[in-house]
Amino acid sequence: MVQRAVAALDAQGNHVRNRDLVGYVDFSQASREARFHLIDIAGGKVLSSLLVSHGSGSDPANSGWVQRFSNQMGSNASSSGAFLTGTTYVGKHGRSRRLIGLEDANSAAMERGIVIHAASYVDADMARDQGRIGRSQGCFAFSNNDITSVLERLGEGRLLLATK
């Protein structure tokens, strides 16, 4: 995981100005697992692991497992690849962070409104009781308890990598 994060940083060259921390989402894991990892690049270690949603279009059966990715408007699916973290703003989900897709697989992220935000459907009790958390419309949604830390630590100008 750390090696993939470093390789993604190297592949993005000058696009990513803050190279100390990387957000890494492992969509090969079920949504009930803490599959978002904040990686300290210099230290070569995971600092924290948290629950994160995927899009309903990526999991039409609501199984808790990503089946597919999409970059299409209206797909409600998650996109894979490298994203650059943008500015924060306050929207319908409260304080959120914009994402800029850096690859063909996620180039429409801004147009689609794919962001980092909080959602009540990302909840450890739900993960335990239902075996999955809720789904977004393609955004990276975190629990209300985790969002402040994610927004602050994964600040503007950093890499978010989503893989399966």
The CATH number of the domain where 102 resides is what?
Answer: 2.40.440.10
Residues facing residue 84 across a β-bridge: 100, 159
> What are the pLDDT digits (tens) for 33-82?
999 999 999 999 999 999 999 999 999 999 999 999 999 999 999 999 99
Query: Residue 14 pLDDT > 90, yes or no?
Result: no
> Could you tell me if residue 69 is inside a domain?
no
> Could you tell me if residue 70 is inside a domain?
no
Q: Tokens representing 39?
A: 């990686």
> Could you tell me if residue 11 is inside a domain?
yes
> What are the pLDDT digits (tens) for 131-148?
999 999 999 999 999 999
Range of the domain at 137: 2-64+76-163
φ, ψ for residue 162, nearest 5 deg: -115, 120
Angle at 130 between CA 24 and CA 134, to 5 degrees: 50
> Could you tell me if residue 158 is inside a domain?
yes
Distance between first and last Cα of the chain: 11
The helix (H) or strand (E) run that includes residue 81 is: strand 81-91
Locate all alpha helices (DSSP H) within the chain, ordered by sequence.
2-12, 109-112, 124-130, 147-153
Model confidence band, residue 115 (pLDDT cutoffs 50, 70, 90): very high
> Could you tell me if residue 71 is inside a domain?
no
Number of folded domains that form the chain: 1
